[in-house]
Copies of this chain bind each other. A is one copy, B any other.
Amino acid sequence: MADTLHLAADPVELTAELVDVPSVSGAEAELADLVERSLRAQTGLEVIRSGNSVLARTNLGLPKRVILAGHLDTVPVNDNLPSRLEDGVLHGLGTCDMKGGDAVMLNLAATVDRPRHDLTFVFYDCEEVEAARNGLGRIERELRSWLDADLAIVCEPSNASVEAGCQGTMRVELRTSGVRAHTARGWMGVNAIHGVGEALRRLESYSARTVDIDGCVYREGLQAVSISGGVAGNVVPDLCVLSVNHRFAPDRTPEQAEAHLREVFAGFELTVTDSAAGALPGLGTEAAQELVRAAGGTPVAKLGWTDVARFAALGMPAVNFGPGDPTLAHTQQENVPVNQIRQCREVLHRFLNED
């Protein structure tokens, strides 16, 4: 392995180099070391290390600051290493999610020589595991001032389009209860599984909202994700538990989403088991508008939940912008078209560097 990476060279080669250093969540040390050494070799950057995260920033006293963020970890290896370039597409674990984006960020750290805004680069660990281990969360708790900025760009795969904001997510549990009885005398009991029929009926006929915010169209959803009930093959069951996942547009807070679900499932015992706020697209700010213009095209709504929401919660506009198709993330055959890597690098360089 190279002692440092050649950051200013081709971001496609850089992507392959990053991919070929495995960095499954919790085992990012080797890659973080390499990224840290490579960034420290640059001039004009303040670099610090936090666990397996590496942070770097300019301190030029410019009026505005832009954060670029990317996680270093991947989901587990699935017989998809090392990287392989074929017909303009780079294949392998992490190519899409999200070492292509990391490579773009590293290249920018070395090539934006006349920045229009001060820049902060955040390469963090443990994004692909439970929220409590997320490196960005740790940085927020321990190095809060490193996250002050006017715009955050999370370089997660977005097909090289600006994906703005993100939807919120909420999981609720509906429990129906009944009265046990022997099935030979079923009329002496109350069947809790039958009682769930009405909730499934409402799910089936649910009409999800489509919400337009700043030109971004968010399509909501309400889906049963698990169901379980039953005591024995000859017993009328007295309990059934249905879990439902709601994805809601960022014009609603989690509290408003919960109130909506309580209305949809009126008459059922409902418990919120998990929720995360969405993020408004925040495209009204000048910095965000500049990025949209640099990217060309029309920004689209981010439907999944990403760490964009963490930045939005800190009070700044935040967008996703990175190479790769997000629907390929976490699949064995994940890949990234190399032209998207180059395109993202060009757009961001145009946005961040003085002409």
* Contact (A232, B225) CB under 8 Å given A183-B245, A194-B203: yes
Closest to A245 in B: B183
Considering the chains assembled together, what is the distance between the CA atoms of A191 and B245 in angstroms? 12
A221 and B303 within 8 A (CB): no
Contacts of A245 in B (CB 8 A): 183, 233-234
Q: A227 within 8 Å of B by Cβ?
A: yes
Cβ distance A226 to chain B, nearest Cβ, rounded Å? 3
CA distance A169 to B243 in the complex (A): 31
**Contacts A197-B203, A200-B200, A233-B274 given: A184-B303 contact, CB under 8 Å?**
yes
Bound-complex Cα distance A201 to B202 (A) = 12
Given A183-B247, A184-B303, CB of A230 within 8 Å of CB of B237: no
| A319 CB–B CB distance under 8 Å | no
Chain B residues with CB under 8 A of A234? 169, 225, 245
Chain B nearest CB from A156 CB (Å) reads 13
In the complex the two chains form, is B227's CB within 8 Å of A230's CB? yes
- How many copies of the chain does the oligomer comprise? 2
Whole-angstrom distance between the Cβ of A177 and the nearest chain B Cβ: 14
Contact of A200 among B183, B197, B274 (CB under 8 A): B197
Does A43 lie at the interface of the complex (its beta carbon under 8 Å from any beta carbon of B)?
no
- Contact B200–A184 (Cβ < 8 Å): no
Interface flag for A18 (CB, 8 Å):
no
A186–B247 touching, CB < 8 Å: yes
Min distance, Cβ A169 to any Cβ of chain B, angstroms: 8
Q: A174-197, CB under 8 A of B: which get 1 and which 0? A: 000000001111110101011011
Q: Which residue of B lies closest to A237 (CB)?
A: B225
Tell me the A residues contacting B by CB distance below 8 Å.
167, 169, 171, 182-187, 189, 191, 193-194, 196-197, 200-201, 203-204, 208, 219, 221-237, 240, 242-243, 245, 247, 274, 303-305, 327
Q: Can you identify 9 A-B contacts, CB atoms within 8 angstroms?
A: A182-B327, A183-B245, A185-B304, A191-B223, A193-B242, A197-B200, A197-B203, A225-B231, A233-B274
The 7 closest A-B pairs by CB, nearest first: A226-B230, A197-B200, A186-B221, A193-B224, A184-B304, A184-B303, A183-B245
Given contacts A187-B221, A228-B228, 4 further A-B contacts (CB under 8 A): A183-B221, A186-B223, A191-B224, A223-B236
